[in-house]
A and B are shown apart, each in its own frame.
Chain A
Amino acid sequence: MNLSLSPLVELLFFPGGLVLLASGLVYEFVDRKLVARFQNRIGPRWFQPLADVIKLLAKEEVIPAGVVKGLFIFLPIVALTSILTAALYVPMFGLKPAFSFPGDLVVTVYLLSLMTLCIGLAGANTEDRFSLVGATRALTQMFSYEAPFLLALLGPAIALGTWNIGQINSAAGNNLWFIIAQPFGFIAAVIGLMGKLELPPFDAPEAETEIVAGALTEYSGRGLALFRIGRDVELVIGLTLIASFYLGGLANPLDFLWKTLILLLVTAALQSLFARLRIDQTVGLWWRIGSIMVLLQLLAVVVGRLIAPLIPFLSSGG
């Protein structure tokens, strides 16, 4: 689709800005509702995520003693900003990315990680025991899933010979879907996204029965609301990325809708299937199984690219 909107409108309303925030809240609702139904609960009403955010924004923000005040206020803003910036390079809603340049995949993945970094810093900034433990866990978890997640996204990129998200998106639609060509990469990407978003069973960094809310224990009001919106938008961006890479690209908004919702259904099912992994189990899982799986996949892709010119029917996919 080639709509020409003024950059300001693109940034503030569509596809960035407000619509992006709204879609984050909608996807949070769908996720919560699905998990609730899997657990035989009724689940929240459709406006609950919005109501939560409004309530949090209206509440007083308590700045605890012993924190670096500027950092405490600044971190949620940086987190949300980086996530919103990442959205500009991703084919949100099946539209062409607002901005794009060769190699924007790396920038996007980096911007998405900034969220976790901010959460880790926010936890380390306070003196609260729960926050400190949560921050340690959040950063530990980041170091375990980050590499496999990036490698999983690189699989299609290398196979297609471009590191530009927009080009990968349009090329993925013309090829065999990468979920079939690179199943391990798909699994690693979906599970990596769950780790990124600290969804169960990878919710050790915010395990409510152990460390209350983890790194964000001391946050209330505006800061917490910004972090929450950031995470919701990150969910949408992550789903979009995986759908455009592995599910044959996103050609139009309808494509976007059904592919991301199916992915969301899968993650919701995974969320309700397992018990929470301890942080050492998470790290073990990623480095012992996840990384090796993805590395083998990558090796196959590279080898496939080398021998593809020799065998004509392999030239698509890798």
Chain B
Amino acid sequence: MPTATETTRRGPRGQAAVAVPGRQAARARRAQRARDWARRAPLLPALVFLVVVTQLPFVATVVISFTHWNALAPGNRGFAAFDNYVAVFADSAMRSSVVTTVLLTVTVVLVSLLLGLGLALLLDRSFRGRGIVRTLLITPFLVVPVASALLWKHALYNASYGLLNGALTWIWGLFGSHDPPQPDWMTNSPLAAVEVSLIWQWTPFMMLILLAGLQSRAADAIEAARMDGASAFDIFRYLTLPHLRRYLELAALLGTIYVVQNFDAVFTITSGGLGTANLPYTIYQTFYQAHDYGRASAQGVVVVLCSLVVATFALRTVSSLLREEVTR
């Protein structure tokens, strides 16, 4: 594709512009510029819209982060220099929410990636009712996230009438016991409770991408390997896994983008309590409950700087995907 662009851009007129000086050259340059703008024109609305709606607010966030500004104490507004940043880094709640965010994201993405891989491998074979099983498996992803969080909190985890403890009562009852264990899931392991509900939601997503990857394998290479007596494990290790690599990377990248920003599950299931407050929730709280605009903005800036580090790494991964596409 780049070669096609080059040839159109350095068309016969462009070369003439170099050879013939004077008015003709100027006219050619103007024409070239007009053509360039005609090319750019369809791109501009989207670009301008995105800069205005996503980049300008961030600039404002940076400015506000250097001010004292609490909506509950409007008299005290003024330049704060680095006060808000000092407060953010001194805040143990902020530090622990960074750890929580990393733990939550890594656990959810890794576990759902592995489960998704297992399920994709199961679904890649033909068996009776495969279409139905695929539909059953993607259902969790199609439940509205806040509905799913409420479902897990009240209908499944609830210690007195949730399905989990209900099932324990039922199973223990089968063996004649009237004293089943009834753990309070959300209090005993709050972070795991959030993670399980998110893994349930994101596994189908991973599975769908990996399944598409599996189905784009070259069937003849696998058939040839099988003819040559390669074991199923060898085929997986040396043929399937290398092929799946870019799909695994893509699934992990996209999963990370979404899970890092998760708000619904943390907000609904534990309300950020018991060490489950992640960064989006912490900023939400500083802004919405403490009304400390300066501090919330400083937190936002710190989060953005952290995610830039992650994003640079992630973008490098994607750029390899893009390059593959170009050379294809």
Interaction A to B: no
